[in-house]
Amino acid sequence: MADAESALAEHFEELPQQRDAAKLGMWTFIATEVLFFGDLFMGYIVNRLAYPQAFALASHHTVVLFGTINTAILLTSGLTMALSIHAARADNLKLSGRFVLLTIALGLAFLAVKGLEYHEDFHEHLWPGSHFRPDLPAQAQIFWFLYWVMTGVHSVHVIAGVLVLCIIAWMIARGRFSAEYHTPLEMTGLYWAFVDVIWIYLYPLLYLINRYAAS
Amino acid sequence: MKTLGRLEPTPELFSLPELKNYLTESHTLSSWLLTTDHKRIGLLFLFSIGVFFTIAACAAAAMRMELVTPPGDLVTSETYNKLFTMHGVLMVWFFLIPSIPSVLGNFVIPMMLGARDLAFPKLNLLSWYLFNIGGLLALYSIIFGGADTGWTFYEPYSSTFSNTHVVTMIAGVFIAGFSSILTGLNFVVTTHKLRAPGLTWFRLPLFIWSLYATSVIMLLATPVLAMTLTLVGVERLWGVGIFDPKLGGDPVLFQHLFWFYSHPAVYIMILPGMGVVSEVITCFARKQIFGYHFVAYASMAIAIIGFLVWGHHMFTSSQSIYAGFVFSLMSYFVAVPSAIKVFNWTMTLHRGSISFETPMLYALGFIGLFTIGGLTGLFLAALGLDVHLQDTYFVVAHFHYIMVGGMVTGFMAGLHYWWPKISGRLYPERMGQLAALVMFIGFNLTFFPQYILGYLGMPRRYHAYPPEFQLYNVMSSAGASILGVAYLLPVIYLIWSLKHGRKAPPNPWHATGLEWQTNSPPIKSNFEATPVVTGPPYQYPTEEEREMVHG
């Protein structure tokens, strides 16, 4: 059984204070991350307004099936993550651990699908540069550049999340957490929700908008 | 129970010599390199930024030597480009931004809050390592040929045309940015969650307010810089991107994103100095700050409005003229909270019982130099006038008045003010006062002529100039050599004082503030027992009380 006392760092007075600090820290970090992605969203908006037709044509070539599957996978992983925290609060650490493992599996599934999609994109000559598809307008490269950077940076965040979740799973297995103390699990859940939300914006921007408008 | 008033001798203070402090706690190298003590990390930062400052100052010295004579006879124009890039990058990201926050903030914030450490001590240590990794990458870039883009990395030059080590330089700045984010995160959470009992928001010292505002900027602006520089790096390495017009991109978009960070970053480089000045002025005028709430809110206002003025760097780009109007107006607005601070410091001095110890001399210098720098900023915020002054030495003089005259002076004020707390020793007061005066003279001689040069039309970033500009350039270079001496002096006597300085009592300035209620140097956990705060800050004796004492 986890000992809540041992989790308290020496510079905190009590556990709730430490938990509040961690929570505020994670929210602050997420605010930073929003601005980090915000830069790319701004680049997307500016170029989309500048070259609406090229962006519409370029977006036809994203593989909407893969994107949709991945959306389903990631949203489901958000559910399993939340259920894991729920289970921990109810002091059912065993169940909590299982949900974490499920979340890890879904995260890996997302990355696998993304890998397949990248493979196909690459073969379709959608990597900007000299080998870019000649049938698309030049500005379509900007769309595809943003596609690779935005999904790439997002995937890096998924990988980071999966790695952290592995540590969390290990901590649960070692009996570090209890109903009173499972702050790292909760913080990882917050982070995972953020990764989810970013994808919820990326999916329509890259796969859906204008897809059927001009052809 | 401890209160904020003057320190009462308590039994534990008499047993002071036997107590282990944070410096004598342990002596191994790993106890320093793996420390999570905010005080030791502050000193680690002091060491690192000292190294970077010295290197960047050497670059400045080389430039000033070149500019003594009109023709470019000392270095080639390529070398000169690399020199000012090196000077700018190192000074901005590896000295000014971490200077007060990471050194003095790290050291005193937890003590001012009555806390034992920052909220996330390990992240704090990570911040130092990231900072050094970033710095080493920048140094690598400099040693193996340097970059010649200027600290602004303007597109498309930085991605397509420059044949220098831009990518490693960018990578260095990128990594140092995360150090800055972690520091900001730590300060925000610590201020929210680790305040001592009774220490409400409006009992916080103004230094905390200013660093809180600074941290907000660090957190919200730095990630934008990180991503923008990443895009520049990608564009440079793989020839794909969104900034180079050849690729269909927009270089002005780069300028927008860059200045969205870099203008707020200017406030990262001045707000902490303002915080130090608020502490020092009240202490050496022995008066409560005039208009506490205004000074506190002004810090937040500067942070918020500071996010809305970036376009004033781009009046001569293809930015819409209507956007220019708005950015110009917002830039005037940001002058309001800055002026409030200056007025309030001046009012604090009014009828104060002022003494001129070294920190006070620096703080007074700050007020004067910051005011000149701020007022000339209004020239540059004016749409029409800026077209004439853009990219001239007027701009160089303006931001050096803010960053060197303001921030470096503020840093020196703070370093001297808290030196007894940091080292447990008193620095030699006369030497300190002398250095402060020399610095003030040297600074003005260096940078005031640059206003005139800029007004006369001398552009920045050139290593040669027409002969009629020589007089002002010689004055500036002469001033720079005086400034060099003024920086060297404190290095010498502060290090000397570590061994030979008189032992410092817990509160040598009879200042208020929780950091003065613990030993000098403090024990590892700062306080024997968590202090309790019962009143507002700066409870210096009122005028009537002083008159009663002095008759």
Say yes or no for a CB contact (<8 Å) between B219 and A17.
no
Contacts of B121 in chain A (CB under 8 A): 9, 11
The arithmetic mean of pLDDT across residues B232-261, rounded, is: 91
pLDDT of residue B193: 95
Across A25-29, B7-11, B163-167, least confident range: B7-11
pLDDT of residue A131: 84
- Please name which of B338, B337, B334 lies closest in space to residue B381, comparing C-alpha atoms: B334
First to last CA, chain B: 31
pTM: 0.94
pLDDT at B498 over 80: yes
- Candidates A27, A29, A39, A45, partner chain B, best to mutate (most B CBs within 10 A): A39
* Confidence band for A212, pLDDT divided at 50, 70 and 90: low
The arithmetic mean of pLDDT across residues B411-436, rounded, is: 96
Q: What is the Cα–Cα distance from B376 to B199, expressed in whole angstroms?
A: 38
Q: What is the Cα–Cα distance from B20 to B22, expressed in whole angstroms?
A: 7
pLDDT at B298 over 70: yes
Across A79-88, B357-366, B379-388, least confident range: B379-388
pLDDT at A101 over 70: yes
The arithmetic mean of pLDDT across residues B171-200, rounded, is: 96
Count Cα atoms within 13 angstroms, Cβ side, for A154: 30
Q: What is the Cα–Cα distance from B303 to A154, expressed in whole angstroms?
A: 29
Q: What percent of chain B clears pLDDT 70, i.e. is strictly above it?
A: 96
- Burial class from Cβ neighbours inside 10 Å (0-12, 13-18, 19+) for residue B498 reads middle
CA B127 distance to own-chain centroid = 17
Q: Does A28 reach chain B within 8 Å, measured CB to CB?
A: yes
pLDDT at B283 over 70: yes
Q: What is the Cα–Cα distance from A83 to A98, expressed in whole angstroms?
A: 10
* Tokens matching residue B194: 């680790």
Q: What is the Cα–Cα distance from B192 to B202, expressed in whole angstroms?
A: 13
Say yes or no for a CB contact (<8 Å) between B223 and A33.
yes
pLDDT of residue B9: 47
Count Cα atoms within 13 angstroms, Cβ side, for A199: 28
pLDDT at B141 over 50: yes
**A19-39 pLDDT per residue, tens:** 999 999 999 999 999 999 999
DSSP 3-state assignment of B163?
A: coil
Contacts of B240 in chain A (CB under 8 A): 128-129, 141, 145
**B503-536 pLDDT per residue, tens:** 999 999 999 999 999 998 999 999 999 999 999 9
Q: What is the Cα–Cα distance from B123 to A26, expressed in whole angstroms?
A: 12
Q: Does A138 reach chain B within 8 Å, measured CB to CB?
A: yes
In degrees rounded to 5, what are phi and psi of residue B27?
Answer: -120, -5
The arithmetic mean of pLDDT across residues B190-203, rounded, is: 96
Average pLDDT, chain B: 93
Say yes or no for a CB contact (<8 Å) between B194 and A139.
no
Determine the distance in angstroms separating the CA of A17 from the nearest CA of chain B, rounded to an integer: 7
Peptide bond before B205: cis, by omega within 30 degrees of 0? no
Say yes or no for a CB contact (<8 Å) between B116 and A11.
yes
Contact indicator for B114, B531 with CB cutoff of 8 Å: yes
* Confidence band for B17, pLDDT divided at 50, 70 and 90: low
Contacts of B192 in chain A (CB under 8 A): 21, 24
Residues paired with residue B523 on neighbouring β-strands, in sequence order:
B526
Would you say the C-alpha torsion B292, B294, B296, B299 has a positive or negative sign?
A: negative
Determine the distance in angstroms separating the CA of A181 from the nearest CA of chain B, rounded to an integer: 18
Across B5-9, B65-69, B309-313, B421-425, least confident range: B5-9
ipTM of the complex: 0.92
The arithmetic mean of pLDDT across residues B450-470, rounded, is: 95
Helix, strand, coil in percent for chain A, rounding step 5: 75, 0, 25
The arithmetic mean of pLDDT across residues B130-145, rounded, is: 96
Q: CA dist A123 to A117, A120, A126, Å? A: 10, 5, 7
Please name the residues in contact with B78: beta carbons below 8 A apart, sequence gap of 6 or more: B148
* Confidence band for B449, pLDDT divided at 50, 70 and 90: very high
